[in-house]
Structure 1
Amino acid sequence: MNPAIVIPAFCRPATLERLLASLAAAEVPAGTPLVLTIDRPAEERHRPGHTAVLHLAHGFHWPHGPKEVRQQPEHMGLVGNVFHAGSLAADFGAIVLLEDDLLVSRRFYGYAQQALAYYAAEPRLAGISLNTLWFNGFTHQPFIPLLDDGDVYFLQLSTPQGQVYTARQWAHFAEWLAVNGREVTTADNVHALFAAFPADDWLAVKAKYLAATQKYYVYPRESLTTNFGEPGTHFAQGTTLFQMPLQQFRREFRFMPFDDAVAVYDGFYEILPDRLSRMAVNLPVTAYEVDLYATKAAHQLQADYLLTSRPCRQPVATYGREMWPLEANVIGGVAGTGLSLARRADVDLSVAATRAAQGDNDRYFSRYRTGEAGRRRLFRRMGRLLGRGG
């Protein structure tokens, strides 16, 4: 399957020019369509940038196939334009959707083709990501999927950093959206942060959709896109938080059936209990909920037992907080405290306990070092070890 490439754009000519240059240099089959769907400005301050984007889009030479520039007849906003871009999957059978602050790897299209060939018929997938994640978006702590025999993992969250959709995948979302609308509240089974997202951000409603339908995105372990985080609709100032190293060389990728994969995570970046139990064979209970990042609200923790980093009394089992990622300590049966398997009734779910657990996780993820003093201690220790020859 050869997906069309679709770019929703608005008023940032410099970012669009960079993306187009990377697309022109990428390995893309001849005959691949490129569609630029350009939103119309509603405010005068956006008109110069919009005019420059139109000029760039019309003047750009697409060396890999036909090019089409679509200007919206009225202002749609970021969400409207992105969703319009997604709907074009119906016209082409499949699309690669790229927002204009991205840059692509030379191998991005080959990955998209291979992932589509492998997963297009998987009903539990809502889409394919071209970008991997290095941090938990709720705590800004590292997110480290367990390693298995594949080049991918599965997560019940979407991404704005390069997406691939079949016509069926986008149609299913559009049908759900028509019935359920865009509103997200704290009563939904998603992180409470999503209820505070602005109306011009679509990640929240996608999170709600994924939770409601029990669908996932498949993510590569190595990124095929990176995000420059320039100022725009969502950022008043630039950020490098989303930069990732690009896989520029690999041509063949190893995919795994959803049912066989171990690295499958819910919408809170927590590994699914049934996947963890495949490896943590000595867990004393089989029905539990994972809460290692301590970000789930009390009403979202319904299981009788919790595997958690929050304080608790009378734990059934405890584990140290040493191996990476957190769940590796449970799999390895690492002795110690910090992680507990306990009855829900014995877990402290208060705000103070949640903050304490996340603070302890901060220290764990910083490898129990803080600031410059911690770095100096590490270097001194390394020097002593090297001085002893190991």
Structure 2
Amino acid sequence: MSEFAIIITAYNRPRALKNLLDSLVNIRYDKQIKIVISIDNNGTEEVNRIANEFVWTYGDKEVIIHNHKLGLRNHFIWVGDQTKKYENVIFLEDDLIVSPEMVDFSSKAIEYYKDKRDVAGICLYNPILCEFNGCKFYQNQDGYDVYFLQHPYWGNVWSKEKWDDFKDWLPSYAHNPDIIPKAVSNWKESSFKKVYIQYLVETNKYIVVPRISLVTNNGEAGLHNADGLYQYQTVLMNESTDYRFCDFNSSKANYDVYMEITTEILKKYNSDLGQYDFEVDLKGNRHQYTKEYVLTTRPTNNKLMTFSSLMKPMENGVIYKSKGEGITLCKAEDVIIDNNYDDSRLFVDVDMNYHVRIKTAILMLKAALLKRIRRIF
């Protein structure tokens, strides 16, 4: 049985597939590794040609053309099921570009985390944006080259044992909007991530995420985005390094399904919070609270503690006990749910990260209006 295989899913985006395959020929790895290109619903003539003509010099290549439509969710599950054959799989969607160090990182991370039961898998992409509100996503720097997140981004790496845990859970799946972000709950039923994120929450498992990405997303237009999402392009690791991995309990950069740092970590840094049973809602993505207290950036009626919200990541205001306003510890009942907050938080984030002149703002508005008009007509 192979140590692992690279499995690519494709359908009808020939340019995207060609770009991914061109980047794969540059990987640095001194062992054999099989590559499988899995094409859904008979593909297209151009996609099939590109896959068949691709020359893979690192081992065997197999092209599988499914003669029926799997759809996104079932195609992703099919990929995970290949762990029965290859033990570990590196899953690449066709709109990705890979770092030359992708396989090196993957092989080392697979070995380190293979027996860690609180880890459901590994992903090769470090998000620079919070997918739920479009704001910048900075992480606490704790000295390690990875952190933990209840969200599977691109470039998933699954092992047989960890994938079997998911498949054992899958028959019990019933959509539960109360435990996942509203944005996730609203995703289409064809979304695999919608199911997998709920699995992570229900089983209290996490994904290992590299600080520097080993894949980036080209943002090609597809089933779930008609125009492309180029803001998801990110920096790539271009040189080899000795990665500093850590266990979940040793990490001080653990982020939950709402992409919020965990309560336990903030209590380790700031002992003033020790007596409070609170949830973290600095990004304002929670639509309900289950604990008595909340640490939030939303407006509140009463304040038990306040911290500055100007530091990056925002939780540093709490970690450094930075005096100021913007972050409030309060009772959950004192949080004011205000639509103006939801409408303005991205504006605040842009203002915090960019110096936007009036001329630039007008150009952005024009571009947004033109995009909307094109969608209508």
Q: Fold conserved (TM > 0.5)? A: yes
Structure-1 separation of matches of 2:109 and 2:352: 35
How much has 1:339 moved relative to structure 2? 0.8
Q: Deviations over 1:332-368 (max 9, x none)?
A: 11112211111122222x243xx42773574255228
Larger Cα Rg: Structure 1 or Structure 2?
1
Q: Do the aligned partners of 2:32 and 2:59 also contact (CA within 8 Å) in 1?
A: yes
Match of 1:64 among 37, 58, 68: 58
TM-score (norm 1): 0.87
Q: Deviations over 1:101-143 (max 9, x none)?
A: 1110001100001111111111111110101010111111111
For 2:212, give the aligned amino acid. E
* Alignment of structure 1 residues 101-120 onto 2, 5 Å: 101-120=95-114
Match of 2:85 among 91, 102, 105: 91
* Alignment of structure 1 residues 41-80 onto 2, 5 Å: 41=42, 50-80=44-74
Where does residue 155 of structure 1 map in the other structure? 149
Q: Secondary structure at the match of 1:289?
A: strand
Q: Does 1:145 align with 2:146?
A: no
For 1:267, give the aligned amino acid. V
Q: Do the aligned partners of 2:294 and 2:329 also contact (CA within 8 Å) in 1?
A: yes
Where does residue 293 of structure 1 map in the other structure? 283
Q: Do the aligned partners of 1:132 and 1:219 also contact (CA within 8 Å) in 2?
A: yes
Q: Do the aligned partners of 1:8 and 1:81 also contact (CA within 8 Å) in 2?
A: yes
Match of 2:177 among 183, 186, 199: 186
Q: Secondary structure at the match of 1:128?
A: strand
Q: Does 1:327 align with 2:315?
A: yes
For 1:205, give the aligned amino acid. V
Structure-1 separation of matches of 2:322 and 2:213: 31
Structure-2 separation of matches of 1:37 and 1:194: 26
How much has 1:238 moved relative to structure 2? 2.3
Structure-1 separation of matches of 2:268 and 2:45: 56
For 1:124, give the aligned amino acid. D
With over 3 angstroms needed to count, the CA separation of the structure-2 counterparts of 1:60 and 1:226, relative to structure 1, is same
Q: Secondary structure at the match of 1:282?
A: helix
Where does residue 175 of structure 1 map in the other structure? 168
With over 3 angstroms needed to count, the CA separation of the structure-2 counterparts of 1:283 and 1:89, relative to structure 1, is same
How much has 1:258 moved relative to structure 2? 0.8
Where does residue 386 of structure 1 map in the other structure? none
How much has 1:214 moved relative to structure 2? 0.8
Where does residue 158 of structure 2 map in the other structure? 165
With over 3 angstroms needed to count, the CA separation of the structure-2 counterparts of 1:375 and 1:53, relative to structure 1, is closer
The unaligned stretches of length 5 or more in structure 2 are 362-377
The unaligned stretches of length 5 or more in structure 1 are 42-48, 377-390
Mean CA deviation greater in 367-376 or 335-344 = 367-376
Q: Secondary structure at the match of 2:273?
A: coil
Q: Does 1:303 align with 2:291?
A: yes
* Alignment of structure 1 residues 366-381 onto 2, 5 Å: 366-367=351-352, 371-373=356-358
For 1:26, give the aligned amino acid. I
Q: Do the aligned partners of 1:311 and 1:357 also contact (CA within 8 Å) in 2?
A: no
Where does residue 38 of structure 2 map in the other structure? 37
Q: Secondary structure at the match of 1:158?
A: coil
Q: Deviations over 1:172-192 (max 9, x none)?
A: 112211232xx53533x0011
Structure-2 separation of matches of 1:116 and 1:134: 24
Q: Do the aligned partners of 2:98 and 2:214 also contact (CA within 8 Å) in 1?
A: yes
- Count of matched residue pairs: 360
Q: Does 1:197 align with 2:223?
A: no
Q: Do the aligned partners of 1:277 and 1:286 also contact (CA within 8 Å) in 2?
A: no
The runs of at least 4 aligned residues of structure 1 exceeding 6 Å deviation read none
TM-score (norm 2): 0.90
For 1:359, give the aligned amino acid. S
Structure-2 separation of matches of 1:217 and 1:275: 17
How much has 1:375 moved relative to structure 2? 8.9
How much has 1:59 moved relative to structure 2? 1.9
Q: Secondary structure at the match of 2:352?
A: coil
Mean CA deviation greater in 166-175 or 90-99 = 166-175
Structure-1 separation of matches of 2:125 and 2:354: 29
